[in-house]
Structures are given as C-alpha cells and as structure tokens.
C-alpha cells in the first residue's frame, strides 16, 4: 500500500512539474511572438497599438493573435509556424489562397503578408478580424442560412486560383493517416479496426485513378469544417486556408459543408444556393457519393489520429447505442464545436462513422 502512495505522490509532482514547464514555455513563446508582431508585422499601419491577445485556434500549427488599436477595428495576425507551414512553398500556397478568398469576398481582407526567407523568419498574415457570433446564435432552422452556405461555395469556386495543385496530396496524406492509426492502435493493443481501415484504404486507392486528374482552375478550401466557417450575423466567412491545395475537386468542399452543417431537410436550399437547382448537375452526381466517403473518412482519420483510444471508445459506444450519426454531428456543430480534446474525439468519430456507413452502402 505504501508503495502505491509513493507512486501517486511522485506522479503528482512529475505532472505538476511538466505543467509548470509547459506554462513557462507557453509564456516565453507568447512574449517572443508579441515582440515579432510589434516590430515586424505592423509596417502596414500607423495606428497606435494598444494590446496583443492570444486567440484560440491554430490546432494545425499556426498561432493566432488579436491586435487592438487605440482607434479603428482590431486585426488578427496568423503566424505560420507549423512544420508544414515552415516550408516556403506551403506558405506561398496558403497566402495565395487567402488573397484569392479576399478578392472573392469569401474570406477576411488581407492587410499584409510575408513568406519566410531562407533564414529563420516566421511567415505571417495580417487580416481583418471577423466579429463572428456563437454557433448556437445562428438561425439553423432557417432555409436562408443554408442558401447562404451554398452561395459562399459558389463564389469561392468561381474565383480563379493560381495555387499549384498537388493532385495526389489527398491520397498520399490518407495513406500516412492510415499507417499512423494502425501503429497507434497496435501500441494500444486495439483490435477490430484493421478490416475497416483496409476497406477505406482500398477505396482511396481505387478512387485515385477515377478522380485524378481533375484540373482545378478555381479556389478551393479543403477544410470547411468546425470553426473554419464563421458567421458575423449577416453572412458566412471561410478562414484557415492551409489545406487549400490538398484536393482539386470542388465536390470535396461541398461534401464537407453538407455533411458537417446541412440537415437532410435543407439539402435543396443548400444546392439552390450553390448551383441554382435542387441537386448537383448529373455529371457530378455520379462521383459525389465517392467523394463524400473520402471526405468524411479523411477528416475522421485525421482527428482519430489525435485521440486514437478515445476514438475507439466512442465508436464502440455509438455503435451500441445506435446513435443517429448525422444528427449528432450537426448538433455538435450547431451548438458550438470548441475544438477541445473531447470535441476532437467526438468530431473524428462521427465523421468516420458517417463515411464508413456510406461506404457499406456502395
């Protein structure tokens, strides 16, 4: 019994020490970022700066800050610091997409942007701050809301884009996610998901030859889920464009928005906003079911990799309770997805289950 108490006490001290170190490191990073923002990112304005505040978000690796001035509206600085964002080509693609979104009026206005050089500089984007309302304050039981979502995508996909498209990026990333999940489940001693994941891998491999090349000439987002869509009380805005070159197929955006936000009873309103009719054109209807599966499974696996054990536990729980996955996913978004660990696990599980359920029907 004494040994157990000793272990518990040691564990408490170790965890406390790790927590204090993390807080100290976080404070140091914030101070360094504030200095960089003040002395490097604000050359575009002569306004008097009052305060810099860290913002939530940036799970993909970027760090976000609100910059407040004595007069005028605040702005947001997005520091491109993730491992992928440190690549010059990746920063060029993201900033190009954000500028195109600004021109199409589907994303915040860009005041300044900088692509890192060969030194250790950090790339950044300074943008308009969208004063968004909380998800639960949006009129989700209103057809106009879903027509607006369709119109947002219509404007986005009508905007020319000069981003170089890596046609195989989606399939290459999916393969990495699948291998990573397998390894994590093996380490955790989790069985029973290998067949599911292999079936999805086969679908990705088979779809690759059917859906590539697509030949994109328009602006794509690639990650229109969760908090990447904001609403200011009048209209929707798209933010976080780092995945804009993941896929060239506009159906990917449509699938994510539809399955993340749009209940079945509002599908026609969403489609009317996007293409002016109750459903997609006939030639797109043939491939849309496959793209829906790929989009749902891809997002599900990306979040499952973050919380592999929680994902499996929730999958098992939801399957036993025969949860209405579609309704549960919409409820999570409409009532306020905040991006904490619990939401991430739930989000990934629901997306994966939705994609896998669609897969079993074909």
- Residue ending a domain, among 128, 155, 182, is 128
What's 135's DSSP letter? G
Question: 239: closest CA among 226, 251, 248?
Answer: 226
Last residue of a domain, one of 108, 128, 148: 128
> What pLDDT was estimated at residue 13?
45
Domains in the chain: how many in total? 2
* pLDDT score for 216: 63
| Cα–Cα distance measured from residue 340 to residue 318, given in angstroms and rounded to the nearest whole number | 20
Kindly state whether residues 282 and 148 are assigned to the same domain. Answer: yes
Tens of pLDDT, residue by residue, the chain (362 residues): 555 555 455 444 444 444 445 445 778 889 999 999 999 999 999 999 999 999 876 555 679 999 999 988 999 999 988 665 557 777 888 899 999 999 999 999 999 999 877 655 788 999 999 999 999 999 999 999 999 999 999 999 999 877 767 778 889 999 999 999 999 998 989 888 888 899 999 999 999 888 876 666 789 999 998 889 999 999 999 999 988 888 878 999 999 999 999 999 999 999 999 999 999 999 899 899 999 999 999 999 999 999 999 999 999 999 999 999 999 999 989 988 777 778 889 999 999 999 999 998 87
**Of 98, 128, 158, which residue sits at a domain end?**
128
Length of the chain: 362
Please tell me whether residues 225 and 301 are part of one structural domain: yes
- Rounded (5°) CA angle 336-250-110: 65
Q: Are residues 110 and 210 in the same domain?
A: no
| Cis peptide bond prior to 263, omega within 30° of 0 | no
Structure tokens at 214: 């697509």
Report d(CA 70, CA 314) in Å as an integer: 48
- Which residue range forms the structural domain that includes residue 83? 2-128
Is-contact 161 99, C-beta < 8 A?
Answer: no
99 and 163 belong to one structural domain: no
| Same domain assignment for residues 277 and 162 | yes
In the Cβ-directed half-sphere of 346, how many Cα atoms lie within 13 Å?
20
Residues 116 and 185 placed together within one structural domain of the fold = no
- Are residues 70 and 98 both part of a single domain? yes
Q: Which CATH number does the domain housing residue 178 bear?
A: 3.90.1200.10
| Co-location of 30 and 87 in the same domain | yes
Residues 170 and 297 in one domain: yes
Same domain, 80 and 204: no
- Residues 115, 152, single domain; the answer is no
Q: Which residues contact 131 (CB under 8 A, 6 or more apart)?
A: 232
Q: How far apart are CA 251 and CA 233, in angstroms?
A: 27
Quick one: 95 and 237 in the same domain?
Answer: no
Q: How far apart are CA 346 and CA 303, in angstroms?
A: 9
């Amino acid at each position: 019994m004494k040994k157990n108490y000793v272990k518990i006490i040691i564990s408490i001290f170790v965890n406390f020490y790790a927590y204090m170190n993390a807080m100290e490191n976080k404070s140091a990073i914030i101070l360094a970022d504030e200095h960089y923002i003040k002395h490097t990112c604000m050359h575009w304005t002569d306004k008097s700066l009052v305060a810099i505040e860290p913002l939530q978000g940036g799970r993909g690796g970027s760090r976000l800050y609100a910059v407040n001035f004595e007069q005028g509206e605040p702005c947001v600085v997005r520091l491109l610091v993730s491992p992928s964002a440190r690549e010059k080509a990746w920063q060029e693609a993201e900033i190009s997409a954000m500028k195109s979104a600004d021109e199409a009026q589907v994303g915040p206005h860009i005041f300044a942007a900088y692509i890192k050089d060969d030194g250790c500089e950090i790339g950044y984007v300074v943008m308009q701050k969208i004063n968004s309302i909380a998800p639960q304050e949006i009129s989700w039981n209103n057809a106009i809301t879903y027509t607006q979502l369709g119109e947002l995508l219509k404007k986005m996909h009508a905007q020319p884009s000069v981003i170089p498209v890596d046609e195989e990026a989606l399939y290459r990333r999916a393969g990495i996610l699948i291998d990573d999940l397998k390894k994590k489940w093996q380490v955790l001693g989790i069985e029973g998901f290998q067949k599911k994941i292999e079936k999805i891998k086969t679908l990705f491999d088979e779809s690759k030859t059917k859906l590539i090349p697509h030949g994109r000439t328009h602006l794509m987002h690639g990650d229109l889920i969760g908090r990447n869509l904001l609403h200011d009380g009048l209209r929707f805005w798209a933010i976080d464009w780092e995945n804009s070159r993941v896929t060239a197929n506009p159906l990917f955006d449509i699938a994510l928005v539809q399955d993340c936000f749009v209940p079945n009873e509002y599908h026609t309103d969403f489609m009317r906003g996007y293409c002016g009719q109750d459903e997609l054109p006939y030639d797109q209807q043939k491939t849309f079911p496959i793209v829906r599966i790929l989009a749902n499974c891809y997002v599900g696996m990306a979040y499952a990799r973050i919380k592999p054990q929680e994902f499996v536990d929730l999958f098992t729980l939801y399957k036993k309770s025969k949860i209405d996955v579609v309704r549960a996913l919409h409820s999570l978004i409409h009532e306020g997805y905040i991006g904490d660990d619990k939401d991430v696990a739930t989000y990934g599980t629901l997306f994966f289950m939705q994609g896998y359920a669609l897969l079993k029907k074909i």
